[in-house]
Amino acid sequence: MRTGGRLEKVTHLEPYGPTQFQADVDNGLVTRVNADGTWVCGIFWERTTHVSDHHPADCLHAIVNLGPIAPKAKRAIRGKIYWAQLTKAELRNRWASDFPDKTGR
């Protein structure tokens, strides 16, 4: 489907049905901790709208809103992947230090 960069022309995405461009979530930081609580992983991307966890590999995916973007236009987003021996609270503090404009600090 060619839209010329005008997303209002997109009425459906096969085979999924009607399109919905969702608002960004509050901050987009997603974390998981291993079974014994010694490791935490996290992902953060700006403009995250929702998280998907229904994949067979039991993984998490941040769904990022990149549109609308005109043809040949560019858009940059920031993000980071974390994997460390931290608590979730320590990871959140590190994330807040890395992205202070996203946390209100």
Q: Is residue 11 part of a domain?
A: no
Domain contains 29: yes
**Assigned domain for 2 exists:** no
Examine residue 49 and state whether it is found in any structural domain, yes or no: yes
Q: Is residue 12 part of a domain?
A: no
Q: pLDDT by residue for the chain (105 residues), tens digit each?
A: 556 656 566 666 555 555 565 665 667 788 888 889 899 988 888 888 777 766 566 677 788 887 778 888 888 888 999 999 999 999 999 999 999 887 655
| Structural domain contains residue 13 | no
In a domain, 17, yes or no: no
Inter-CA distances, 21 with 37, 50, 66, 76, Å: 36, 11, 10, 18
Domain count, the chain: 1
* Domain hosting residue 56, numbered range: 24-103
Residue 16, in any domain of the structure? no
